[in-house]
Amino acid sequence: MTAICKGKKQRGLKALLPIVLCCVFALVSGCLLMENKKNDDIENPVLEITANPVMGIMPLNVSFSITTTRDKVAIDSYFWDFDDDTISMTEKPSHFFSLPGDYAVKLTVTFTDSTSLSDTVIISVYDKSQFYGIWHYTEGEGDYESITFYPNETINITTQKTGISYAGTYKIINETIKLDIDQLHEYVSYFYEINASNKLTLINKKNRESAVYTKERNNIYTLYVGGTGEGNYSKIQEAIDKAWYGDRIHVYEGIYAENLIITKSINLVGATEKKPIIDGGNNGHVIEVCAKTVNISNFTIRNSSSSSPSSGIKICSCSQVHIDTCQLTENFFGLWLYKATRNKITNCTIEYNKGDGIMINEVSSENEISQCIITHNDRNGIKLCCGSNFNSIIWCTISENKGIGTSIQAQGNIIAYNNFINNNLSAYGHGINFWDDGNQGNYWSDFDEPNEGAYDQNKDNVIDTPYTQIGENNQDQYPLSKPLDIKRK
């Protein structure tokens, strides 16, 4: 009897053995998973920025904080780059953004073991005047056929169902715009976005339905500065502040002691009879352009601060800006392109500046400088550096500059059909750039005589040997024997 009972007991233990082994395996696996997760937190840590708010009307005050999964090693330092030439080294900064645009705010934290993590967040800042005007329904699930925003925070809306217009008010608070239409008993809050194509998206905060509206562009007005006309402005900045997007500002001749900031798409035009003068009074930049699709023509722009990096015109983090028929003189930089892409500088005279005539840096690419005279600047005529690739300098006269006519520390730039005359050093190139178009290059005053090795045996105005005094991987394969006759309007 005892033997039988013992046998049953042994069979019971054998039956439990697989269960015990499974439990042990699960326990070990769980520990390994926890250890792997712990190792992942160490080997693949995450840093995340929290910003509040992430969008709104300028000036916009944003508070920043962070979280990180790497909590076993202490943070040694914080470095915030707010993408507007300002930084902070505190843990939880607050920052005012005073100009419209999209700002890529980047944080880099360094730990006590010398490793680092980075994260970036986009802050969108709007100028309230971007809303002003008539917006027409384009697509989506909107109730309104059109919305008209006025500067005094009133609106008119036309419904899609009836076509009847109603008056109301609006208020913008950070990322939200609230429309109050009393006659319809509608009090609706929307998330909003205005993109580069001038389209307004409204997302209903309650039901998440969205609609897209396109701004009417035929209500363009001309504002006048100076002169004697009724309602003319006395200051250019006053007219800029009052202008709607796309408006034209006509400035009569005279001297305007101002430092201008342009934050909206406008056309700023000087009188053609005699260029009006914008005088910065030796203070900062004379004109700072911080908006896309800005046109400035027919001005003399002078007297920025005499210290770097002040400029006659600074084009900052924007595109499709066109500067035409302007004289930039007695500034530090005549013109400064900073993080600027696809802009045009034409028919300008850039002379007698204390630094470089034109400075192009910080990844300013695909810009065009043509039919300009860049002369008698105290440093370089033109300087490109810091990732500023694929720009073109064509049909310019670059002369009598005390530094280098054109200095390039970038790649893929085209420099052709220019006259380089009597600069201290004609040109310098570092990186692969193109100094001719495959048929003709540039005229070089230090390479146009036989005693300089410049021969044109077939008299086709192209010297038979390349101009090589530029730098490694840079030479003009088809230098010209005579100066180009560059036509300017």
Classified by CATH at the fold level, domain 47-126 comes out as Immunoglobulin-like (2.60.40)
Please report the sign of the dihedral spanned by the C-alpha atoms of residue 307, residue 83, residue 414, residue 302.
negative
pLDDT at 21: 52
Instruction: Locate the domains of the chain by residue range.
Output: 47-126, 128-215, 222-476
Burial class (CB in 10 A: 0-12, 13-18, 19+), 35: exposed
- 345 strand-pairing partners: 323, 369
Structure token digits, residue 142: 């909107």
Single out the residue of 182, 125, 195 nearest to residue 155, CA to CA. 182
Q: Are 377 and 394 in contact (CB under 8 A)?
A: no
Residues in CB range of 215: below 8 A, 6 or more apart: 133, 134, 135, 136, 198, 199, 200, 245
Cβ atoms within 10 Å of 276's Cβ, excluding its own: 21
415 vs 183: CA distance, rounded Å? 63
For domain 222-476, give the CATH superfamily.
Single-stranded right-handed beta-helix, Pectin lyase-like (2.160.20.10)
Q: Are 326 and 320 in contact (CB under 8 A)?
A: no
346 vs 368: CA distance, rounded Å? 8
Classified by CATH at the fold level, domain 128-215 comes out as Lipocalin (2.40.128)
Give the amino acid at 421.
Answer: I
Q: Are 334 and 326 in contact (CB under 8 A)?
A: no
pTM here? 0.66
Please report the sign of the dihedral spanned by the C-alpha atoms of residue 16, residue 22, residue 23, residue 28.
positive
The pLDDT tens digits along the chain (489 residues) read 333 333 433 444 455 555 545 544 545 455 444 444 444 445 688 999 999 999 999 889 999 999 998 888 999 999 999 988 789 999 999 999 988 888 999 999 999 999 999 999 999 998 888 888 889 999 998 889 999 998 889 999 999 888 899 999 999 999 999 999 988 888 999 999 988 677 899 999 999 999 999 887 556 789 999 988 888 999 999 999 888 778 899 999 999 999 999 988 899 999 988 999 999 999 999 999 998 889 999 999 999 999 999 999 999 999 999 999 999 999 999 999 999 999 999 999 999 999 999 999 999 999 999 999 999 999 999 999 999 999 999 999 999 999 999 999 999 999 999 999 999 999 999 999 999 999 999 999 999 999 999 999 999 999 999 999 998 889 999 999 999 999 876
Interstrand relation of 87-88 and 94-97 (parallel, antiparallel or unpaired): unpaired
